[in-house]
């Protein structure tokens, strides 16, 4: 696949194949910090008549050890997810970053491993949440909210690895009362990058400040993102900036939670 493609060919094949049931992979950050985002993502799927299965045995996608060079530890974590999500049904992931790990890095991680075929088959069932709603469910949204101006941040993994930028935008464009703002240099990284923000905090903070300045210049009242890592990074930077300047901060939320709040009032 072309890493810069916005339309992975394997997703085109599933465009009209609506499943009866799917697995939902909640991600660590949603589990620990943004549970309402996960519930909203599930509610939007179930509203379309699809049964959502959430195995309690699931944990992390394995990115932290994988990105830090701990391959054996990453394999052990990945095995838990493949066992917990073992049925041959789609695995919907509300994070481009975690979806990219499971879809593209599991096959490489398990290359020449006894479970290589299982890892390949597992990876082919992974689909990012906004792509599932837009391409597979072809969901129709009725906006019940008040007029607002919103900026969407698409993570590097969602944009370049999963190719789902247009899916998030397409969902937001269905909301009639939402004015969609595009910050300058929207494709640039926010500086989170998983362990990058821990290993290089000064560079990461500078990148986040640039990103937040661009978002503020759009006049957006709300920042939304499909990845909680980016959201946490930008949310903290916006709040810190507001404290120093005594200005009102821009609210932020996961894309799923924002959409659910707009359509369920």
Q: Match 């830090």 to its residue by tokens.
A: 68
pLDDT of residue 143: 97
Examine residue 14 and state whether it is found in any structural domain, yes or no.
no
Verify that 122 and 58 share a domain, yes or no. yes
| Whole-structure pTM value | 0.90
What are residue 131's phi and psi, to 5 degrees? -70, -35
Number of structural domains, the chain? Answer: 2
Q: Compute the average pLDDT of residues 77-103.
A: 97
* Of residues 246 and 202, more confidently modeled: 202
Examine residue 9 and state whether it is found in any structural domain, yes or no.
no
Verify that 95 and 112 share a domain, yes or no. yes
CATH of the domain at 257: 3.40.50
| 114-123, 211-220, 236-245: least confident range | 236-245
Verify that 148 and 250 share a domain, yes or no. yes
Domain span holding position 168: 141-264
pLDDT of residue 201: 87
Examine residue 105 and state whether it is found in any structural domain, yes or no.
yes
End-to-end CA distance of the chain: 40
């Amino acid at each position: 696949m072309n890493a810069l493609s916005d339309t992975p060919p394997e997703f085109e094949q599933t465009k009209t194949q609506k499943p009866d049931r799917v697995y939902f992979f909640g991600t660590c950050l949603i589990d620990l910090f943004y549970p309402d985002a996960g519930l909203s993502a599930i509610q939007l799927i179930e509203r379309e008549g699809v049964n959502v299965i959430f195995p309690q045995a699931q944990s992390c996608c394995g990115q932290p050890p994988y990105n830090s060079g701990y391959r054996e530890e990453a394999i052990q974590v990945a095995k838990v997810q493949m066992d917990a999500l073992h049925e041959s049904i789609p695995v919907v992931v509300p994070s481009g970053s975690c979806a990219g790990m499971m879809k593209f890095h599991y096959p490489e991680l398990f290359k020449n491993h006894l479970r290589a075929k299982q890892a390949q088959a597992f990876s082919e069932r992974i689909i990012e949440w906004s792509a599932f709603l837009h391409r597979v469910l072809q969901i129709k949204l009725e906006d019940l909210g008040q007029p607002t101006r919103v900026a969407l941040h698409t993570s590097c993994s969602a944009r370049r690895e999963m190719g789902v930028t247009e899916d998030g935008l397409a969902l937001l464009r269905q909301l009639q009362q939402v004015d969609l703002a595009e910050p300058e240099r929207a494709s640039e990284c926010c500086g989170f990058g998983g362990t990058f923000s821990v290993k290089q905090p000064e560079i990461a903070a500078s990148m986040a400040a640039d990103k937040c300045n661009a978002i503020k210049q759009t006049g957006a009242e709300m920042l939304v993102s499909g990845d909680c890592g980016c959201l946490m990074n930008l949310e903290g930077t916006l709040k810190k900036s507001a404290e120093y300047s005594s200005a009102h901060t821009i609210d932020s939320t996961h894309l799923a939670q924002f959409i659910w709040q707009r359509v369920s009032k």
